Structure 1
């Protein structure tokens, strides 16, 4: 993998900035008793290695980088699932996707029995705003599933100027919605803004248009940009170019982030606002099938190594947190943190009780620290996985568990297993599952995965698969017509009525 000089420089700067600002940041918060505001920015389909601040890319995202440079850069930030629907359901509920029943599946629904942290804040005196993509794609049965208010009051109705001329970008104006909310809100109440940025999700514009717009709007030649992508031909990672439209959309969302930060700063609100930037799942790259079993795909070279897979590039995302009144900038933290930790962290920071059902853990111990590196020794493991993404034509259901050194993978449909030494093989190119040297480590991670699965009620480990099997059947039934009006109308009445209307049996109850 190509070494980029930015990583060493950034790490050196981080240490200096943290040392200088630690005392002033903590003393500033000590003098303030105000509840904080929150701005949660989630972008669609981007992996950690596409951001230059990690030293693996030369794509310029200075405004996203600002959040990391003036706050905390998490080197090991993960989402629960590599698919936007279950990933966002997990992020909003503070629970692992496998705990969310139908919410564990793309194209199903997000049961309203699982409360979301924006709505909990709303019930505790916060004013909420949601723009862009919150949860989805899926259905919203009125009596069973969360509606469009799942991430707070919707301000998602203002169209972007000349949106018809740029159909490859999200048609709503994120900032205009936020500005309307800030103008209407009660100035004496704290707020929580969910900004679900659709970009850089495809389809993208034509390459020639992307090249032209990137040059005219940003002065950047996107044809020259590269990231350290997995190269299946060489079974390794090498600097490679992505679609110019993808890079244009990265520049576009970086500009969107700037406008959001500038707006809060101009109003004197930024210092007391916790800003979190996170990807909802990785981008899409392909590689070799190293599971040892035939997968439900076309050809080994078509195996996803990121989006829709539990591999590192699918669940390891950019994750930054800035709270200028509270934590010193320039910190680089190696603790494993998850997007399901956002909800407990936000509630903890607001002084609102965290529901017992949330599996995520508050990050306030990290935020309150001035340290870089490993801050909380207990954050040494991360478990992720996937159940369903478009009929599983990409990858079968799986679970992954990793620590700083090793990773174990299980594919449930065929029993395929993988094991990687991440220290020597960070891009997961050498499957060591049959290497006797690692037998003890493999068994250790397998046992830990089973323990976590049983403790958290993962049907793959409890054996209570009826509801998952039923939901899988439902998703397959609607795979071609899920978003047409007939299907939507059937299911938006209630889930039970919808099942009956399309000839599916009642949902089983464990």
Structure 2
């Protein structure tokens, strides 16, 4: 009898121990999961077209490192920037708000005040709430300061005041002054005995420009880029002083890469969000000598190869630091392609059979598809299964979607939670999406796109791109006519009416 009692007590003890161990394992696993929130990296190129990558069908250029992201992750065939130009597109990505709601969300000069209100919700602020360290490395172009900027003192407000713990940027674009790096609000390597001055209305007395001293330029301007000359390149806007702080154009890609690599190394033990905003293939195209002539398509092709190499080197760093399996990477472009955007650099002459638009119509500045329909890839090793998705996804939805990923759902913007689509768990993305080009808007709804009537030229002659402007409605079925050649507005009045009603309701 005693033996049976001992066996019974022993059995009960073993069951208790086993149950306790299981509970302990579950608790530990949950705790570990909480600590191991995925790092998030958004890699955004500048003016990269839907057809500029070999993984999106390009045959005249090879982009093996970006292709590896597409092959190992989810490649979207209906990925969008919100806008066909850079400032409004980046505004939407970081705020989750349609840029056409903000009348100031237009292409900004380099001395414009900060476009994002410091009190509004932003992607880095949201991720900070979830315990993320946040940083931007690269192009900003969302304004700095609250009025007249003193470039010789700490510049506030800027990226650090809208949610980024660290920032290493240039103020606007490579073709705009000031041509300096700014780290956490301070111009890098600035000698205050040689103060930096910037003006977008008038030149400084005695300073050469591309108009007054064309012999000082090493790159010929085509339109608009004929003000101050820096490193032989004529720019938009006027700049004086700050010589020690001026960047080397051919080293910009390497500089931003090194800063991005250093950031992930320094923050590998905590969840981080990095917005790696590359400047290629925006003008002026200044590839490092390692890449000059490699594409056979002139500087534009060369800097695309340079950007692909940078992506590869960055991925090597993530792998070396054992971060690749715990990092969600989102790759895209801020808007569609343009060839001649202000300089003579053989982008048109050496294009050959390459189609930056990938069969789409239009390009940068355009309401047609090529203005906003861009490469879009999500990659998370071991979590996102390799596939191709036709879901309609947009950068504006990163705010709500990534918020959902990290457990924060208090998003009250135009951003929609499409996390399932971004992770490849659902092929249903957005139902409707309003797209913008130079303050004019169009509607993508399912397979259809509607462009309302707009006054203005149908062709941007300076850059050779159709604008989408006309005095009639345009309606296209993209499933059957991706090149938007057959306007169905007259043939399908019922669908047109439906699209107009949806458009009106969403614009309220």
User: Structure 1 residues 347 and 142, CA, compared in 2 at 3 Å: closer, same or farther?
Assistant: farther
Shift, 1:362, TM fit = 2.4
**Corresponding residue for residue 148 of structure 1:** 159
Give secondary structure in 1 for the equivalent of 2:325.
Answer: coil
How many residue pairs were aligned?
A: 363
Shift, 1:192, TM fit = 0.7
Whole-angstrom CA distance in 1 between matches of 2:383 and 2:129:
25
**Corresponding residue for residue 366 of structure 1:** 421
> Which one of the candidate residues 35, 55, 58 is aligned to 2:57?
55
Give me the TM-score of the superposition, normalised by structure 1: 0.64
> Which one of the candidate residues 384, 398, 411 is aligned to 2:435?
384
Whole-angstrom CA distance in 1 between matches of 2:450 and 2:308:
34
Whole-angstrom CA distance in 2 between matches of 1:143 and 1:95:
26
Instruction: State yes or no: 1:195 paired with 2:246.
Output: no
**Corresponding residue for residue 410 of structure 2:** 355
Query: Residue 131 of structure 1 contacts residue 196 of structure 1 at CA under 8 Å; is this kept in 2?
Result: yes
Q: Which runs of 5+ in 2 are unaligned?
A: 1-28, 150-155, 170-180, 190-230, 232-244, 341-360, 457-470
Whole-angstrom CA distance in 1 between matches of 2:397 and 2:146:
27
Whole-angstrom CA distance in 1 between matches of 2:272 and 2:364:
32
Q: Deviations over 1:48-73 (max 9, x none)?
A: 12122122443211111111111111
Q: Deviations over 1:298-336 (max 9, x none)?
A: xxxxxx9211112111100110000114221x2111110
Q: How does 1:223-234 map to 2 (within 5 A)?
A: 223=296
More helix by share: 1
Q: Deviations over 1:318-375 (max 9, x none)?
A: 10000114221x2111110000111222222222x2333222222322245556xxx1
> Which one of the candidate residues 425, 436, 439 is aligned to 2:493?
439
**Corresponding residue for residue 417 of structure 1:** 473
Q: Deviations over 1:445-486 (max 9, x none)?
A: 1111111111xxxxxxxxxxxxxxxxxxxxxxxxxxxxxxxx
Instruction: State yes or no: 1:78 paired with 2:84.
Output: no
Give secondary structure in 1 for the equivalent of 2:301.
Answer: helix
Query: Residue 63 of structure 2 contacts residue 308 of structure 2 at CA under 8 Å; is this kept in 1?
Result: yes
User: Structure 1 residues 164 and 112, CA, compared in 2 at 3 Å: closer, same or farther?
Assistant: closer
> Which one of the candidate residues 289, 302, 326 is aligned to 2:383?
326
CA RMSD, 1 decimal: 3.4
**Corresponding residue for residue 46 of structure 1:** 48
Query: Residue 431 of structure 2 contacts residue 445 of structure 2 at CA under 8 Å; is this kept in 1?
Result: yes
Shift, 1:197, TM fit = 0.1
**Corresponding residue for residue 64 of structure 1:** 66
Shift, 1:281, TM fit = 0.5
**Corresponding residue for residue 16 of structure 2:** none
Query: Residue 168 of structure 1 contacts residue 203 of structure 1 at CA under 8 Å; is this kept in 2?
Result: no
Query: Residue 96 of structure 2 contacts residue 414 of structure 2 at CA under 8 Å; is this kept in 1?
Result: yes
In the TM superposition, structure 1's runs of 4+ consecutive aligned residues that sit over 6 Å from their partners are 28-31, 142-145, 162-166
User: Structure 1 residues 50 and 184, CA, compared in 2 at 3 Å: closer, same or farther?
Assistant: closer
Q: Which runs of 5+ in 1 are unaligned?
A: 1-27, 224-242, 287-303, 389-396, 455-510
Shift, 1:38, TM fit = 0.7
